[in-house]
């Protein structure tokens, strides 16, 4: 059947989108095919990047009728009506994930016995036995063109966004990639913009203008190909913090900067003694924690994301991380991050804030990190809005060059495909195809091929409804070459054989040796024992498949989350967090009859220790990076207690109000939670805040005493409320801070930098957090006569808020204070003065870690910084009753910490953030274990 008169190929017209102008075979290659004796038939199209006349000149026949062709090639999915029986069709079918919207097309393929070849699955096949049978890199891939088009178009978006922010920049003269006739013309436009930057510069407020490009694959190469057309300088990730804070010179205004962010800049091992390994991270992502939000995102103007990611990995940037970065930059009035170009287009994936895709005609929107809204107006939210660009068909914008690449990739296979002759009596096998096409053949002769037989199983999953009767749910993550090895079929068979059901929550399919597939499913069982049996059988499959795959990315199985959906009447309490403050609450509730507790934490071992095998407590692994999982967990509890860092409370509270579950936290009421109050009342949801010692018990005592004064017809002219949780005096002398941390050391350090405001003798006093420690004043021995150590008090945040709360407008003095043993504030002030409470190293700390600076000179400089910082704070306050500076105490503490040549100095060399290094020291040396603690409180009225 390979006689030349039968050799033919057809090119079908694209109908899915008017933006799809690409073609699988360009006219130049048509000419070569015709010279080989292959007839090429082309359906006419007014959209195609190459006109019909170009194909006719190359020797093709332009015709509506493709029935004479045995093989028909398109770009995107063809319509069911145009699917001719018993032909070979090549296209991006978008069926390999059993996408529901394309199942009618697959049904027609099977019914009409079409041989379907999907470009997405055409990969290298190695003949080297040592490499196994796993696929290599994709042969028909458009990553470079996505990178090129995405960057060109995003430069246009930058120009428009910056203009809306009242900046006229050279970027305004860029257009979207599709607006240029070809890539060369688009590049010329970028070069012209570069010349304008060199001549006029960029606004000083925006400089240094830094692009962070993730990954080093095809997408990243395409991005860099465009950026390097501008006047630019490539920098290392390690230099970002210093560069970002540098004084802006004229040279810096006349160029852009870019860095390439690879995996070691995205995550770091949880175990500080462990070295980073990309291969280990890919196999064991749970051993790593994210750092991109700390070492990259705060310092760059633009993030261009183009690296591989799957659901088992740490997110590049979570909603909460982006919110924190933008909020901090807004507070400091140092706006840096302007936009994010997510070329991977993974919805709520590596960039969790990607809430919607853009399109070629509407390529941009503004994202609000606070409300998580997407706004079309590019002038929206000038103080915090982030420009987003995330179009999932970017290569179509460079239709000419993409088509040429497309055609080059397919050219070697076309003569073989041309031998297919339409014949109803001949079966269309796939074993006569080249190996690369065999692996890409989804269906033939009315059946799915072995490599893609899993699609039918996935369809059943998509169409099945989860069982309501099964009460035990376990989330299971399968990762590896699930579909190549057919391990997925074995896994699903096991689940069904044990009469369990399942639901796919999320998944991605890897197509190469180095890109494993991941499948997150929810296993529904009737009992914990039944679920455990299934897990054991799945682990057997995992081990067996690992042996088959040998040195390649192995199939792995992990239990991600566990919780029981009980139908009992016992109240179910979800405790988020397993830190120091969690233990008393867990013990209290566990001893109460009738409570069922779930401890959810990103530190499973800590949660297990808190549970202590008590029958009414279960634990689970949870991070705040996947809010879908968090939401599902909240749905199965009655009350949620958030003991997480304060930045997470608002999002948890918002979910509780939305779902109708009560929310409790000991932290202050934030503005975001306050906004939820009306909706919470409407839905009968309690939002309980400020129920610790301070804030909490101090409020109740204050209200009680104020009510007592009112009942005696008294008038309050002065109000003092001091509170502090301190170690017992006999335990306080183990460190120069005279303190033990019963909660996060970093939280204490950050709180010590909070601004304060209070009323004194009718005058409003405001204190910058930077000088808060200089406000400390000694507490008279008559206040706490039984305390053997002297105490001091410092202002606690904004006391004036409580004038209305306590209904004491007549009070001339209103001061809420924090109690500490005398000397604490001197030590904390010393840490502040030398820069240890900052997120980046100042010049002094940089000299400390150099190693070749005279140590005595450094000590003298530190003493001078401490004294001058204290004196400046005193002058601002003009209060002669405050304590005098005691630099000796501060210097003793710095020596004890090892700032000049000890442990802290070494940590500062290895850690970018000084406050993180200090918190690490305090975590290990100044934390409570089992020791006596006292709470002191004092309220005074006149």
Catalogue the active-site residues.
Answer: 694
- Which run of H or E residues covers position 544? helix 528-549
Which residues have CB under 8 Å from 360's CB, separation 6+? 19, 176, 178, 391, 393, 396, 397
Cα 886 from Cα 905, distance rounded (Å): 23
Do 120 and 132 touch, CB atoms closer than 8 A? no
Do 90 and 115 touch, CB atoms closer than 8 A? no
The CA-atom distances, in angstroms, between 418 and each of 2, 478, 511, 719 are 9, 40, 26, 91
Neighbours of 880 (CB within 10 A): 6
3-state secondary structure of 698: helix
Cα 427 from Cα 453, distance rounded (Å): 19
Do 449 and 481 touch, CB atoms closer than 8 A? no
Strand partners, 813: 718
How does strand 441-444 pair with strand 115-118?
Answer: antiparallel
- Which run of H or E residues covers position 243? helix 240-244
Neighbours of 217 (CB within 10 A): 16
Cα 886 from Cα 888, distance rounded (Å): 5
Residue 778 tokens read as 């000694």
Which residues have CB under 8 Å from 62's CB, separation 6+? 41, 42, 43, 44, 52, 55, 56
- Which run of H or E residues covers position 626? none
Cα 611 from Cα 620, distance rounded (Å): 11
* DSSP H stretches of helix in 6-142: 27-35, 52-57, 103-111
Which residues have CB under 8 Å from 83's CB, separation 6+? 89, 105, 108, 109, 112, 114
3-state secondary structure of 91: strand
> Measured at the alpha carbon of residue 490, what is the angle toward residues 488 and 495, in degrees to the nearest 5?
95
Residue 515 tokens read as 């890109």
The CA-atom distances, in angstroms, between 237 and each of 266, 849, 912 are 10, 19, 12
The CA-atom distances, in angstroms, between 842 and each of 63, 767, 911 are 72, 23, 13
Strand partners, 117: 90, 441
Strand partners, 42: 11, 62
> Measured at the alpha carbon of residue 310, what is the angle toward residues 496 and 288, in degrees to the nearest 5?
110
Q: Where are the beta strands (DSSP E) in 119-275?
A: 210-214, 232-234, 256-261, 267-269
Strand partners, 927: 741
Do 704 and 799 touch, CB atoms closer than 8 A? no
364: left (phi over 0), alpha (psi -120 to 50) or beta: beta
Give the residue carrying structure tokens 């870690």. 849
- Which run of H or E residues covers position 632? helix 627-635
Q: Where are the beta strands (DSSP E) in 410-568?
A: 441-444, 447-448, 472-480, 501-508, 517-525, 556-564
């Amino acid at each position: 059947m390979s006689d030349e008169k039968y050799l033919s190929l057809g090119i079908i017209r694209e109908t899915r989108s008017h933006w799809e102008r690409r073609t699988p075979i360009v006219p130049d290659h048509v000419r070569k095919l015709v010279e080989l004796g292959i007839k090429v038939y082309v359906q006419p199209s007014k959209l195609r990047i190459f006109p019909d006349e170009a194909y006719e000149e190359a020797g093709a026949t332009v015709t509506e009728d493709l029935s004479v062709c045995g093989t028909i090639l398109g770009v995107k999915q063809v319509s069911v009506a145009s699917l001719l029986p018993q032909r070979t069709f090549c296209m991006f079918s978008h069926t390999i994930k059993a996408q529901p919207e394309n199942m009618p097309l697959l049904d027609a393929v099977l019914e009409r016995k079409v041989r379907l070849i999907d470009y997405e699955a055409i990969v290298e096949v190695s003949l080297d036995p040592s490499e196994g049978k796993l696929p290599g890199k994709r042969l028909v891939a458009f990553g470079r063109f996505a990178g090129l088009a995405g960057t060109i178009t995003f430069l246009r978006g930058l120009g428009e966004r910056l203009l809306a922010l009242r900046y006229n920049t050279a970027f305004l003269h860029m257009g979207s990639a599709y607006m240029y006739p070809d890539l060369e013309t688009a590049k010329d436009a970028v070069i012209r913009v570069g010349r304008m930057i060199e001549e006029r510069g960029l606004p000083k407020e925006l400089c240094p203008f830094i692009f962070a490009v993730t990954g080093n694959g095809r997408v990243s190469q395409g991005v860099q190909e465009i950026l390097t057309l501008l006047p630019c300088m490539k920098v290392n990730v390690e230099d970002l913090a210093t560069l970002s804070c540098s004084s802006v010179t004229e040279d810096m205004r006349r160029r852009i900067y870019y860095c390439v962010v690879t995996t070691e800049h995205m995550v770091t091992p949880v175990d500080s003694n462990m070295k980073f390994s990309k291969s280990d991270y890919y196999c064991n992502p749970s051993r790593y924690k994210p750092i991109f939000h700390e070492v990259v995102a705060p310092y760059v103007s633009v993030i261009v994301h183009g690296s591989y990611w799957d659901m088992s990995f740490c997110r590049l940037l979570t909603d909460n991380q982006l919110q924190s970065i933008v909020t901090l930059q807004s507070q400091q009035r140092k706006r840096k991050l302007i936009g994010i170009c997510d070329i991977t287009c993974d919805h709520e994936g590596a960039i969790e804030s990607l809430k919607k895709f853009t399109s070629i005609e509407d390529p941009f929107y503004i994202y609000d990190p606070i409300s998580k809204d997407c706004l079309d107006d590019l002038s929206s939210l000038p103080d915090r809005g982030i420009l987003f660009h995330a179009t999932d068909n970017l290569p179509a914008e460079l239709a000419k060059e993409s088509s040429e690449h497309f055609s080059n990739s397919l050219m070697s296979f076309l003569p073989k495909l041309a031998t297919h002759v339409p014949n109803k009596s001949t079966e269309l096998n796939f074993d006569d195809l080249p190996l690369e096409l065999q692996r890409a053949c989804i269906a033939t002769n009315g059946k799915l091929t072995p490599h893609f037989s899993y699609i039918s199983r996935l369809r059943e999953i998509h169409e099945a409804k989860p069982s309501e009767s099964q009460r035990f749910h376990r989330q299971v993550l399968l990762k590896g070459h699930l579909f190549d090895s057919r391990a997925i079929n074995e896994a699903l068979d096991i689940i069904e054989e044990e009469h369990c059901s399942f639901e796919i929550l999320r998944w991605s399919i890897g197509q190469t040796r180095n890109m494993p597939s991941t499948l997150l499913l929810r296993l529904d069982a009737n009992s914990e024992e039944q679920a455990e049996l299934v897990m054991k059988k799945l682990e057997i499959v995992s081990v067996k498949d690992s042996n088959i795959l040998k040195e390649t990315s192995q199939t792995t199985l992990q239990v991600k989350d566990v919780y029981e959906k009980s139908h009992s009447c016992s109240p179910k309490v979800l405790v988020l967090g397993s830190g120091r403050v969690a233990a008393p609450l867990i013990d209290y509730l566990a001893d109460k009859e009738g409570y069922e507790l779930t401890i959810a934490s990103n530190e499973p071992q800590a949660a297990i220790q808190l549970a202590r095998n008590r029958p009414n407590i279960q634990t689970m692994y949870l991070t705040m990076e996947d809010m879908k999982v968090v939401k599902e967990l909240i749905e199965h509890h009655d009350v949620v207690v958030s003991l997480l860092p304060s930045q997470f409370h608002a999002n948890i509270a918002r979910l509780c109000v939305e779902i109708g579950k009560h929310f409790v936290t000991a932290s202050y009421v934030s503005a975001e939670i306050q906004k939820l109050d009306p909706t919470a009342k409407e839905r009968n949801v309690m939002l309980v805040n400020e129920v610790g010692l301070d804030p909490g018990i101090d409020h109740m005592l204050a209200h009680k005493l104020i009510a007592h004064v009112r009942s005696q017809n008294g008038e309050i002219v002065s109000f003092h409320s001091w509170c502090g949780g301190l170690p017992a005096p006999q335990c306080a002398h183990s460190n120069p801070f005279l303190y033990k941390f019963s909660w996060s050391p970093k939280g204490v350090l950050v709180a010590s930098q909070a601004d304060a405001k209070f009323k004194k003798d009718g005058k409003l006093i405001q204190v910058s957090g930077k000088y808060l420690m200089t406000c400390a004043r000694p507490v008279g021995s008559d206040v706490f006569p039984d305390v053997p150590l002297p105490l001091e008090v410092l202002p606690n945040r904004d006391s004036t808020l409580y004038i209305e709360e306590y209904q004491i407008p007549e009070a001339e003095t209103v001061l809420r204070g924090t109690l500490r043993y005398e000397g604490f504030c001197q030590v904390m002030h010393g840490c502040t003065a030398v820069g240890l409470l900052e997120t980046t190293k100042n010049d002094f700390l940089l000299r400390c870690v150099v190693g070749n600076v005279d140590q005595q000179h450094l000590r003298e400089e530190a003493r001078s910084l401490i004294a001058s910082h204290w004196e400046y704070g005193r002058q601002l306050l003009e209060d002669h009753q405050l304590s005098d500076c005691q630099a000796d105490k501060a210097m003793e503490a710095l020596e004890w910490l090892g700032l000049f040549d000890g442990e802290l100095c070494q940590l500062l060399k290895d850690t970018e953030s000084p406050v993180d290094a200090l918190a690490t020291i305090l975590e290990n040396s100044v934390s409570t274990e089992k020791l006596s603690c006292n709470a002191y409180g004092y309220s005074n009225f006149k």
